[in-house]
Amino acid sequence: MRSIFAITTLLFGIGLMLAGNGLIGTLLGVRGQIEGFSSTLLGLVMAGYFAGFVAGTFIVPNMIRRVGHIRVFATLASLCSVTVLLHGLFIHPTVWLLARAMAGVCVVGLYIVIESWLNEQTGNEQRGHIFSVYMTTTLIGLGIGQLLLLAGDVATLHLFALGSVLMSLGLVPVALTRVSEPPLVESHRLGLSKLYSISPLGVVGAVFSGIGTGAFWGLGAVMAAALGLGAGGIAGFMALTILGGILMMWPVGWLSDRFDRRTVLSWVCLSSGLAALLALWLASIEPVLVLAGGFAYGATAFSIYALSAAHTNDHVDPEHMLETTSALQLMYGSGAIAGPMIAGVLMQHVHPTSLLAFIALAAFIPAGFARYRMLVSPPVPADDQGDWVPQFATSPAVLEMYPEQDETADSDSEQPPQASA
C-alpha cells in the first residue's frame, strides 16, 4: 500500500509540473506575438528549451552524483519556478532564450529524478502498467496546461505566476513522499555511426520526429495566434492535438506488435504528413477548422518517435536497450532544436501556416525512407519483435521502468539478432 501511495504522489507531482510547463510553452508563443517578437526570434527561443533539455541529460547526472536525488530535485524545481517568473517579469528575447534554456535543463532533470524514483518503487510485476500510466500522465499534464491558458489575461503576469505556482506545488507531494534514494541511472550512449549501422530507419525517424514535433510544440501556438484565434481557440488547438496523441497511442502500438514495424511507421508518418496538409487546407477555408486538423496530426505524429525507438530496439540485445534509447533521445533532441528555428524563419518570410507544410515534410521524409528500407532489408519476424512501448523523449531513466530490463538481468534467454534495418 505504501508503494502504491508513493507512486501516486510521484505521478501527481510530475503531472502538476508538466501542466505548468505546458502552459508556459504555449503562453510564450501567444505573449511573444503580442509583444511583436518575430516568428524567427520565437523559433530561436523555443529551440533554446530543447538545447537545454539535451544539455541537461549530461549535466544532471553529475549533479546527482554529488548531492543526491532529493536535493537535485528540490533545486531544479525551484529554479524551474524562477525561470517561469523571469519570462513574465522581463519581456526581452535574450532573457527568454536564457530562461527557456535553463527550463529545459531543469525539466529533463526532474524527469530523471522522477523516473528513477518510480523505477525504485515499482515491483517487477507492476512495471509495464506503471510505465504506461506514467507516459499517459505526461501527455495529460501537458494537455491540461494548454487549457489553463484560459485562466487569465495572457498580456499580464497572471498566467506566468500560475505556471510558477504549479511548478512549486509539484515539489510538495514528491518532497513529502517517504521513498528510498534510487540508484543513479548511467546514461551511456552509442555513437551516431554505430547507432545508424544498427538501424538507419530508427535514427531518421527519431531525428525527423524531433524536427516535426519540436516545431509544433514551439510554434503551434504562434501560428494559431497569427490565424486570429483567441485564447480559447489556441488552447483548443494545442489540447486537441495532444488528445489525438493520447487516443491513438494504443491502436498504433497494437498494430506495431502484429505487423512489420517499418510498414506501420511508414503509414503513420504518411498519415501525419497528410494530416498536417489537411490542417493547412482547413485553415485556408476557416481558421477555426485548424483545430480538427490539429487533432488528426496529433493522432499520428506523437507515435513516430516511439515506433522509431521500438524498431531500433528490435535490432539490439535487451541489455543494450538503455544506451540505444539514450542515443535516440539525443537524436530526437537535436532535431527538436533545429525544427523551431527553421520553421520560425519560414513562418516569418512565407506565411504563418507554412509551419504546417514544414511539419508535413518532416513526416513525409521518414515515410519515404521507411519504404526504401523495406526494399533493401528483410523485416524482423513478428515473434522476434519486442513489445510496444508508449515512449516519449523524456530521460534515459525512463527505460529502467520497462519490464524487459529486469527480464534481461534475470534470464539468459535467446536475444533478437543484431541487424541493420
* pLDDT per residue as tens digits for the range 147-158: 999 988 888 899
Cβ neighbours of 229 (radius 10 Å): 21
Residue pair 161/88 in contact by the 8 Å Cβ criterion: yes
pLDDT of residue 252: 82
Q: How far apart are CA 73 and CA 359, in angstroms?
A: 34
pLDDT of residue 119: 66
With a cut of 90, say whether residue 170 has pLDDT above it.
no
Helical H runs in 122-199? Answer: 127-147, 158-175, 192-198
- Across the chain, mean pLDDT equals 82
Q: How far apart are CA 138 and CA 12, in angstroms?
A: 10
**Block residue for cell numbers 537535485:** 72
pLDDT of residue 413: 40
CB crowding 184-202: b at 16 or more within 10 Å, else e:
ebebebbeeeebbebbbbb
AA identity, residue 202: G
**Block residue for cell numbers 524545481:** 77
Give the pLDDT band of residue 321 (cuts 50, 70, 90). Answer: low
pLDDT of residue 97: 94
Q: How far apart are CA 274 and CA 356, in angstroms?
A: 10
pLDDT of residue 23: 92
pLDDT of residue 391: 61
Q: Stretch 221-238: mean pLDDT, rounded?
A: 91
- Nearest-CA neighbor of 305 among 323, 331, 340, 278? 331
- Note the Cα 74 to chain centre separation in Å: 22
With a cut of 50, say whether residue 366 has pLDDT above it.
yes
Fold of 191-394: Growth Hormone; Chain: A; (1.20.1250)
Q: Is 263 exposed, middle or buried (0-12, 13-18, 19+ CB in 10 A)?
A: middle
Helix (H, G, I), strand (E, B) or coil at 92: coil
- Nearest-CA neighbor of 374 among 259, 255, 271, 263? 263
Cell representation of residue 307: 515506433
Q: Stretch 31-56: mean pLDDT, rounded?
A: 91
Q: Bigger pLDDT: 15 or 277?
A: 277
pLDDT of residue 414: 40
Residue pair 281/296 in contact by the 8 Å Cβ criterion: no
Poorest-pLDDT segment among 4-13, 56-65, 192-201, 209-218: 4-13
Poorest-pLDDT segment among 135-149, 288-302, 305-319, 398-412: 398-412
Distance spanning both ends of the chain, measured CA to CA: 44
| Same fold across 1-180 and 191-394 | yes
- Nearest-CA neighbor of 188 among 305, 61, 66, 102? 61
**Block residue for cell numbers 510505465:** 131
- Nearest-CA neighbor of 229 among 167, 307, 146, 334? 146
With a cut of 60, say whether residue 48 has pLDDT above it.
yes
CB crowding 356-368: b at 16 or more within 10 Å, else e:
bbbbbebbbbbbe
With a cut of 60, say whether residue 401 has pLDDT above it.
no
Under CATH, which architecture does the 1-180 domain have? Up-down Bundle (1.20)
pLDDT digits over 50-95, tens only? Answer: 999 888 888 888 888 888 777 888 888 889 999 999 998 999 999 9
Give the pLDDT band of residue 278 (cuts 50, 70, 90). Answer: very high
Cβ neighbours of 260 (radius 10 Å): 19
Q: Stretch 331-352: mean pLDDT, rounded?
A: 92
Cβ neighbours of 155 (radius 10 Å): 11
DSSP assigned state of 417 = P
The domain segmentation of the chain, as residue ranges, is: 1-180, 191-394
Poorest-pLDDT segment among 12-21, 289-298, 404-413: 404-413
Give the pLDDT band of residue 193 (cuts 50, 70, 90). Answer: confident
Q: Stretch 120-125: mean pLDDT, rounded?
A: 57
With a cut of 60, say whether residue 231 has pLDDT above it.
yes
pLDDT of residue 408: 46
pLDDT of residue 418: 43
Tell me what percent of the residues of the chain surpass a pLDDT of 90: 39
Poorest-pLDDT segment among 31-35, 83-87, 90-94, 256-260: 256-260
pLDDT of residue 144: 92
Tell me what percent of the residues of the chain surpass a pLDDT of 70: 80
Q: In the chain, what's the furthest Cα-to-Cα distance? A: 60
Q: Bigger pLDDT: 75 or 398?
A: 75
Poorest-pLDDT segment among 130-134, 271-275, 281-285, 391-395: 391-395
Q: Give me the phi and psi of 188, to 5 degrees please.
A: -70, 145
Q: What is the DSSP string of 327-349?
A: HHHHHHHHHHHHHHHHHHHHHHH
pLDDT of residue 415: 41
